[in-house]
Structure 1
Amino acid sequence: MYLNTEQLDQIGFNIDWLGSILSNKSRVKEFNTLVFFWIYIILEDLEVNIENLSYYIKEKSVVFVGPHKKVAFNIFNEKQVIAIAFSQTFYERSIKDSLFLNSELFYNYDSNLFIAPLFEIEEIKRNFIERLRFFKTKEQNLYIAVAHNLIEKLILDAFIYLPVKQLNNEVSPDYLYYVNRFILLLHRDYKEKKKVIYYAEQLHISSKKLSEMTEIILGKTAKQIIIEKLINEYKKLKNYSNHNISEICYELGFSNEGNFSNFIKKHTGKTPSEF
């Protein structure tokens, strides 16, 4: 599936009806989120498949999906979904922005997506989407400012439905940058790369430094985050797909089922079949 990324490539942001963004004329819209963060405004009930798991979404919902996810929407109406895509570079301007991108809205280990209710659809259409259309052909800086404000409003509204966490206001911006980059790389490469040293080398820092950063930002070492990611991906596939344990083992990049079973047992105290 071809994803039209012309404006994404230029400024790192795009908003449009999902049917217009994707070139396929069929009802099922399939694509990969690539390196972009996606927010979908759902106007009618529909079904979406993310990483081979199906979810039924009610109308007037906002769906948040992080980078490197396989997505397929089953759309009956071309104006059923407003899709917003943006890059980390486009949105991230402050420590607060970094915390938003690194939150469970986009990196929810228990699910491939986060869903929040949308109560102000008419306000969103009137105050943001129409304004975006106007400034798109007038002034790029204003267009970008309105786009940033729209994303921030949707994120802030959704944050009400996340568990409250105590944030450290003295966190170094450099730490947030490296941890965000690590999480992005992990979501892309976890099936093939399971060692901390790989991610540290990609970031041009030491494994020790990476773990120091993740402990300060996320309260866990880099190794613990990798392990947690693999275990949660196993749970999702075990509970919501038709794959057997052997198939899941190879799907997650383990060379044989014995090694996989030992890994699960070591880190959870359970065998794979006990989940």
Structure 2
Amino acid sequence: MYIITNQLRENGFSVNRLDQIIKRNNNKRKFNTLEYFCIYIIMEDIQLKVENNIYDVKAGNIVFVGPHKNVEFGNIHGYDTFLIVFSSSFYERSIKDSLFLNSQLFFNYNSDIFIAPFINIEQMRVVFMERMENFRLKDKSLYVSAAHNAIERLILDAFLHIPTEEVKKDIKFDYLYCVNKFKVILQRDYKKAKKVSHYASELNITPRKLTEMTEYVLGKSAKHVIIEKLISESKKMLTYTNFTISQIAYELGFSDEGNFTNFFKKHTEKNPSEMR
């Protein structure tokens, strides 16, 4: 999925037909959503296998899939299934956006996916997909803005199909707000601060409380979130730069190459040199 990855790296999101993605994936139908959020616009009957659970989805539905899910598409042409893939950093511009991303749409307690119907297939094809392509061809900034608005529209429409009491029960505004702020601060400080206590202090809460919040919202401890960020950035630098391992260790704030190598090997079971 090299081309898709480039689109995501450049814009923070991508919109593609399923058949195009399968072709770029060497005709394989198995994918992992990685850290991305996915919305599948289904305009043909399709079978999905997500985390080894099979779902038969009829045309006229939208499927919401959260990060780090294994997905396999059934044997269809894929001309009429569209995949919208985007990062949290692309979508989150406000607390409201964070609430949407951390809602039952993408983190459903009862299922690995959330399915919501839409009314008119042709309207979805023309108004949404063709309109998006027109924005892409006209201007990049307009395309990005239109993509955000289109994703929000799909999310809002899907919320109509979640019972009101479930929406209220699912959302802890203070937790989501703090976790969102934590991720922003982590993006700023991950090279110099690797302890939970630093980020908790920035948020004026205890390390224990921060971990409670990240476990509720993300399903992982604050320490795990920090480690994942460091490993992710390490892999990027090892793969896409010509820096020596010593230089990468310095860039990421480790005391020396040995310290960085031990950290990387502990959490990936590989030496940094194996990534080159």
* TM-score clears 0.5: yes
Q: CA deviation at 1:63?
A: 0.3
TM-score, length-scaled by structure 1 = 0.64
Partner of 1:15: 15
Partner of 1:84: 84
1:149–1:120 distance in 2 versus 1, CA, 3 Å: farther
Partner of 2:120: 120
1:80–1:125 distance in 2 versus 1, CA, 3 Å: closer
Alignment of 1:1-275 (within 5 A): 4-22=4-22, 23-24=24-25, 26=27, 29-164=29-164, 165-166=167-168, 171=174, 174-177=177-180, 201=196, 204-205=199-200, 206-211=206-211, 213=213, 222=216
| Contact 2:98–2:180 (Cα < 8 Å) also in 1 | yes
Amino acid in structure 1 at the alignment position of 2:160:
I
Provide the rounded CA distance (Å) in 1 between the counterparts of 2:67 and 2:149: 21
1:72–1:175 distance in 2 versus 1, CA, 3 Å: same
1:96–1:203 distance in 2 versus 1, CA, 3 Å: farther
| Contact 2:102–2:176 (Cα < 8 Å) also in 1 | no
Gaps of 5+ in 1: 182-198, 215-220, 227-275
| Contact 2:18–2:79 (Cα < 8 Å) also in 1 | yes
Provide the rounded CA distance (Å) in 2 between the counterparts of 1:135 and 1:44: 25
Partner of 2:239: none
Per-residue displacement from partner, 1:158-197 (whole Å, max 9, x unpaired)? 101112234989748751405889xxxxxxxxxxxxxxxx
Per-residue displacement from partner, 1:101-123 (whole Å, max 9, x unpaired)? 00000001211100011113333
1:178–1:170 distance in 2 versus 1, CA, 3 Å: closer
1:170–1:114 distance in 2 versus 1, CA, 3 Å: closer
Aligned residues: 202
| Percent of paired sites with the same residue | 43
Q: CA deviation at 1:129?
A: 1.6
1:120–1:152 distance in 2 versus 1, CA, 3 Å: farther
| Contact 2:99–2:173 (Cα < 8 Å) also in 1 | no
Provide the rounded CA distance (Å) in 2 between the counterparts of 1:202 and 1:154: 38
Name whichever structure is richer in helix by fraction: 2
Per-residue displacement from partner, 1:44-73 (whole Å, max 9, x unpaired)? 111111111111111111000000011000
1:200–1:96 distance in 2 versus 1, CA, 3 Å: farther
Provide the rounded CA distance (Å) in 2 between the counterparts of 1:71 and 1:3: 19
Per-residue displacement from partner, 1:33-53 (whole Å, max 9, x unpaired)? 011100001111111111111
Amino acid in structure 1 at the alignment position of 2:49:
N
**3-state SS, counterpart of residue 40 of structure 2:** strand
| Contact 1:3–1:31 (Cα < 8 Å) also in 2 | no
Question: Alpha carbon RMSD of aligned pairs, Å?
Answer: 3.2
**3-state SS, counterpart of residue 79 of structure 2:** coil
